[in-house]
Amino acid sequence: MIYLDNAATTMQKPPCVARAVAEALTSLGNASRGAHEGALNSNRLLYRTRGKLADFFGCPKSEQVIFTNNATEALNIALNGTIRAGDHVIMTALEHNSVLRPLYRLREERGAELSLVPADGRGCVDYAAFERLIRPNTRAIVCTHASNLTGNMLDIARIGGLAAARGLLLIVDASQTAGAVPIDMARSGISILCFTGHKSMMGPQGTGGLCINGDIEVEPLKVGGTGVQSFRTAQPREYPTRLEAGTLNGHGIAGLAAALDFIRSTGVEAIRAHELALARRFYEAVVGIPGVRVYGDFSTWDRSPIVALNIGELDSAWVCDELARGYGIATRAGAHCAPLMHRALGTEEQGAVRFSFGYFNTNDDADAAAEAVGAIAGGNE
Amino acid sequence: MRKKERRLIVAFHTTHDAMAFEDFCGARGAEGRLIPLPREISAGCGLAWSAPPGDADGLRALLREAGIVPQHVRALEI
């Protein structure tokens, strides 16, 4: 299989990840549940990994790195934990349902007010719109770092500068960029960074987290066992315990830590250069094929390594299936949980076929995919 | 059964602080280990640092150097 669905999950991981998970499965106890070596080893793993993640993302306090099962859980914690009744939130048309649905629910249940920064036909936003939409009760700007459909990136530092100047929280969904694009929370003015471990971080599924920059009170989404302060009726207030009720995925986090070591030793810039070179090679091979429409802003390669396209009026699901069955190429069709982005692109009915490149893809993968697109388009003429 | 002995016990506000202090002491070769939080301090579970008795001021200085504000530093027979 030629795997080009890395925006969904990176299927090929560095070998050290599987080794770390396998070792953890037989050596880790339950962190904060006891003081024997197994439990302490788990505590030590969490402590060290928090420190590495804080350093990696520029989060000033490692105890404010919170582990979750995925970015969706992190975003639910960040949004439900900071948006109060009557608060106003600015979001963008690039958002995934992991941002949109929690916000829609906050509108229903808490009376949160929502404003949308729209996208044009190339999936680009007008940055001046962020400032125009600010109201006296605006609490936060919530935005993705890169669209999971087009790969267009938002200028987070620019939005962060505005948020800081106006005293707003900036909550960033880094699902598509964490591990593949340098991120410095402190420098970019990011208040809360939400990430997943299984995409460009190259770790196991079931890992992720949020990093909280500064004195931000995030109320817990779930409460329960913490292994400390057990006779208190309320959840402890200290981070990270405040937001980490229940047993953590220590085994997965061991894999995430190994993946992070791999990324740091390889270099984010080197990973980024390789992935973008593949995306560019594929884009340049398909963009001129008659009948192929590519979506997104390719005037810059400061983007995520995603190329989404359609072939004529063919159903994207059919093209995706043809790529899989006829050519052994794994892509993703349909709506990609990005309804507003599809609406902006005019692809609500057809969907789009997304090719997303990862560190373990090769030039041959990109060339084979481009040839397959050409053959399908040729057969459709 | 192990005979009880006098130790200096540090209780922390968070498990993160406990792990940070273990890491700090390990890097400096400071003697001690993490133990279950003794009931004399709290019945609420958690971890504590058990250090040799005698130099409470030295232990407090180590905590300050590590940037950790302890919940308690107490001498106990455990």
**Is A46 near chain B, with CB under 8 Å?**
yes
Which of B14, B43, B47 is facing A231, going by the closest CB pair? B43
Identify the CATH number of the domain in which residue A62 sits. Answer: 3.40.640.10
Same domain, yes or no, for A260 and A361?
A: no
Domain span including residue A351: 2-10+267-380
Identify the CATH number of the domain in which residue B30 sits. Answer: 3.30.70
Same domain, yes or no, for A83 and A225?
A: yes
CB contact under 8 A, B15 and A32: yes
CA A174/CA B35 separation, integer angstroms:
38
Same domain, yes or no, for A112 and A197?
A: yes
Residue B56: inside a domain, yes or no?
Answer: yes
CA distance B44 to chain A (A): 5
Same domain, yes or no, for A289 and A228?
A: no
Residue B1: inside a domain, yes or no?
Answer: no
CB contact under 8 A, A43 and B19: yes
Residues of chain B with pLDDT under 50: none
Omega within 30 of 0 (cis) for the link into A339? no
Measured in residues, chain A has a length of 381
Secondary structure (DSSP) of A252-289: HHHHHHHHHHHHHHH-HHHHHHHHHHHHHHHHHHHTTS
Residue B53: inside a domain, yes or no?
Answer: yes
Residue holding tokens 């500064």? Answer: A214
Which of A31, A40, A240 is facing B34, going by the closest CB pair? A40
| Collapsed DSSP state (helix, strand, coil) of residue A163 | helix
CB contact under 8 A, B14 and A238: yes
Q: How far apart are the first and last CA of chain B?
A: 12
Determine the residue type at B24.
Answer: F
ipTM: 0.91
pLDDT of residue A92: 98
Dihedral angle sign, alpha carbons of residues A75, A76, A80, A81: negative
Residue A340: what are its φ and ψ, rounded to 5°?
-70, -35
Backbone dihedral region of A261: left (phi > 0), alpha (psi from -120 to 50 degrees) or beta?
alpha
Q: How many CB atoms lie within 10 A of CB A245?
A: 16
Domain span including residue B58: 6-77
CA A180/CA A122 separation, integer angstroms:
23
Full-model pTM? 0.96
Domain count for chain A, please give it.
2
Determine the residue type at A380.
Answer: N
Going from the C-alpha of A343 to that of each of A129, A149, A287, A337, B55, the distances in angstroms are 18, 12, 22, 12, 69
Same domain, yes or no, for A255 and A280?
A: no
Residue holding tokens 């997304």? Answer: A354
Residue B2: what are its φ and ψ, rounded to 5°?
-65, 135
Same domain, yes or no, for A304 and A375?
A: yes
Domain count for chain B, please give it.
1
Same domain, yes or no, for A243 and A316?
A: no
Q: Count how many Cα atoms sit within 13 Å of the Cα of residue A81 in the half-sphere of its side chain.
A: 23
CB contact under 8 A, A229 and B34: no
Residue B59: inside a domain, yes or no?
Answer: yes
CB contact under 8 A, A227 and B46: yes
pLDDT of residue B43: 66
Q: Which among A266, A288, A308 is the end of a domain?
A: A266
Q: Which among A243, A266, A289 is the end of a domain?
A: A266
Same domain, yes or no, for A279 and A151?
A: no
pLDDT of residue A124: 97
Same domain, yes or no, for A100 and A128?
A: yes
Same domain, yes or no, for A238 and A353?
A: no
Q: Which among A266, A299, A328 is the end of a domain?
A: A266
| Per-residue pLDDT tens listing for chain A (381 residues) | 999 999 999 999 999 999 999 999 999 999 988 899 999 999 999 999 999 999 999 999 999 999 999 999 999 999 999 999 999 999 999 999 999 999 999 999 999 999 999 999 999 999 999 999 999 999 999 999 999 999 999 999 999 999 999 999 999 999 999 999 999 999 999 999 999 999 999 999 999 999 999 999 999 999 999 988 888 999 999 999 999 999 999 999 999 999 999 999 999 999 999 999 999 999 999 999 999 999 999 999 999 999 999 999 999 999 999 999 999 999 999 999 999 999 999 999 999 999 999 999 999 999 999 999 999 999 876
